[in-house]
Structure 1
Amino acid sequence: MMQIQDSKVVVVVRDSLCQRSAAKPCGRNSIMKKSSIAMLAMAAAVSFQANAATGVDPLTQVQPVDAEWFYNGTEPDHIVEVPSFNVPATGVIDYIDSVIPLEFGEEKWVKAVQFIPGDKRVLHHLLSYVVADTPDAGEGMLDETVNDPRREFLEGYAPGKEYATEFPENTGIRVPDGSALRMSIHYTSFGQETTDSTRVGLWFADENNEPEYEYHTYSVATPMNQIQIPAGAMNHEASSSHVFEDDILLYGFRAHMHYRGKAMSARVVYPDNTSEDIINVADYNFAWQPTYRLDEPMVLPAGSRVVVEGLFDNSQYNLGVPDPTVDAMGGLQSWEEMFIGYFSYTDLPE
């Protein structure tokens, strides 16, 4: 263990980063990680002393920074106002499912999208889909491990995503006339009651320059009811796969697990049984889940199988595990687990 001490406060940091991989000695990266934790612990100690002296609860002093629209220096062509939600100070909050009609009066192509939370402190994440605006548009739970042909994934938000997502050249999300935006929103309490009013900015392609190809996202996942990670397991393996029946052009990949996620990789097995690595997220971090856009799109011929493989760490050496003495089960909340690889692609141009 490392111990940081001054005259009033003692902060102990469990030195476990090297123990997570007992077969390897501590390298430069591990030392840097330990130094970062030590610095954070020192900062926490100083902050604790300062607030203890004043009697001020630091949570009441945190104010979110106003965000701006970031896409070519322009305002969105359309802004979707998500219904406001009052977030309580404490407690577990069920996912919010919201359906908002998109009354454009004609078909549109979205070339870029950005989310601006009303209060970043409570918006854990959200997922948005284009669906038909029908009376049953909001029925059933939005399960992100299931690919429902009745919806098209638009984009998601997680803390730190301050920019607009622009889809690759000559691609976009098609929004037919009579569509709605269905959103799955996850709020978390933080000790102070607040209200969130998130906005979604949409930039459209010019009518005389509409994309030729629809941008799709397909989730390759282990169903949540099939996830069970044994207590204390340091390298619990998981895998899932999918065969694309048509020729596609693969643009990107995003890994998604929760606190026990340790690593995830993706590869493709071609119809001739040769294989090629797509990506290796060797040091997965729940707080850093970007979509990795390939430098050059990959051509996957019909019959190609994509394979997602990963590791979970449910041991005492993983500082993010809520309780390493119990099995971890699949579920929506962060203290439960998911295993999803998202593949972004278009149909292969002829």
Structure 2
Amino acid sequence: MKIKTTLTAAVAIAASGLAHAGVDPLTEVQPPQSEWMHDGTAPDHIVEVPSFQVPATGVIDYINSVIPLEFEEERWVKAVQFIPGDKRVLHHLLSYVVEDTANNEGMIDEAVNDPRREFLEGYAPGKEYATEFPENTGIKVPTGSALRMSIHYTSFGQETVDNTRVGLWFADENDQPELEYRTHSVSPGNRTENIVIPPGAMNHEMAATHVFENDILLRGFRAHMHYRGKAMAARVIYPDNTSEEIINVADYNFAWQPTYQMEEPMVIPAGSRVVVEGLFDNSEYNLGVPDPTVPALGGLQSWEEMFIGYFSYTDM
């Protein structure tokens, strides 16, 4: 199954050709002409995330922020981009479309799929560009909706203030999408009892599964682990018990967490089981491990671990 070539790979291919031509590739790199990276235009709407003063040290609880989207009519989001106020402290941000007065209390568990909210998109290290939803798809925002965000900050030894912005581009009124773009997270759960990685383990295996009860068109995938994440792959087992690989992120890197979009959507028939499998490295050879002599447990903070595969799809 073909996955779209990433920008990094495309640049590498172009650079290779320039090198053979005797041209220094760095002289050909053009800086972005705008901080907003979708079709050369400014967003139709910009959400200003409330400012947050990040202390120099300490553990920071997740921030739950709900911002009303006071649109006079229903909108369809065709692209979204996050511009962090300070990349050094914004660990990640997840955004959901919710009813303005519903489901706004408590902390979001990103491993749980709550039908009262619709995943819009998230920011994580490596997401420098706008996420553009496939043609004829988008995220529906009914009137009276709000944008609910789960925001994770981490301190780094210096006090700072974060002022993140979220840019939204809308589909034209006369060209509304026919398909809602949805995302389902597949995970064993992020609690302590769900993830236990032995000390020193270099290839600790983990897996999670989900059965789709209706026919879907799979359009993208994102892998999420923390610093011990080493690899993640996804495959589908069809109702006739045959299987097919979806994606293999063979060298997972916490600093590079894009959403991989398929060149062509993949038909997943009702009753098919998707399987997410991964490896963790909790050894001294992984420089991101805080302490390889103790077990790594599941949890929300960076020094803990997560294991989530995000499947993005539309109905058929």
Bin the TM-score by the shorter chain: 0.7 to 0.9
Work out whether residues 119 and 197 of structure 1, in 8 Å CA contact, stay in contact via their aligned partners in 2: yes
The reply to whether residue 168 of structure 1 matches residue 121 of structure 2 is: no
Larger Rg: 1
> Unaligned stretches of 5+ in structure 2?
1-31
1:208 and 1:120 mapped to 2: Cα distance?
37
The reply to whether residue 122 of structure 1 matches residue 89 of structure 2 is: yes
Work out whether residues 99 and 137 of structure 1, in 8 Å CA contact, stay in contact via their aligned partners in 2: no
Work out whether residues 67 and 116 of structure 1, in 8 Å CA contact, stay in contact via their aligned partners in 2: no
Equivalent residues in 2 for 1:1-350, closer than 5 Å: 68-134=35-101, 136-225=102-191, 226-348=194-316
Residue aligned with 1:191, SS: coil
Work out whether residues 213 and 347 of structure 1, in 8 Å CA contact, stay in contact via their aligned partners in 2: yes
Work out whether residues 83 and 197 of structure 1, in 8 Å CA contact, stay in contact via their aligned partners in 2: yes
Give the 3 Å change call, closer, same or farther, for CA 66–157 of structure 1 in structure 2.
farther
Work out whether residues 118 and 182 of structure 2, in 8 Å CA contact, stay in contact via their aligned partners in 1: yes
Residue aligned with 1:224, SS: coil
Cα offset, 1:199, TM superposition: 1.1
1:231 and 1:306 mapped to 2: Cα distance?
29
- Matching residue of 1:37: none
Cα offset, 1:104, TM superposition: 0.1
More relative contact order, 1 or 2 (CA 8 Å, 6+ apart): 2
2:199 and 2:126 mapped to 1: Cα distance?
31
Cα offset, 1:87, TM superposition: 1.1
Structure showing the higher helix proportion among its residues: 1
Deviations 1:223-265 (A, max 9, x none): 1221111111111111110000111000111111111111111
Cα offset, 1:66, TM superposition: 11
TM-score, normalized by length of structure 1? Answer: 0.79
Deviations 1:202-223 (A, max 9, x none): 1000111000000000000011
TM-score, normalized by length of structure 2? Answer: 0.87
1:317 and 1:197 mapped to 2: Cα distance?
36
Work out whether residues 87 and 193 of structure 1, in 8 Å CA contact, stay in contact via their aligned partners in 2: yes
What amino acid is aligned across from residue 142 of structure 2 in structure 1? P
In the comparison of the two structures, how many residue pairs are matched?
Answer: 283
Bigger shift: residues 154-163 or 224-233: 154-163
Residue aligned with 1:207, SS: coil
Residue aligned with 1:153, SS: strand
Work out whether residues 68 and 145 of structure 2, in 8 Å CA contact, stay in contact via their aligned partners in 1: yes
Cα offset, 1:67, TM superposition: 6.9
Work out whether residues 222 and 338 of structure 1, in 8 Å CA contact, stay in contact via their aligned partners in 2: no
Cα offset, 1:198, TM superposition: 1.1
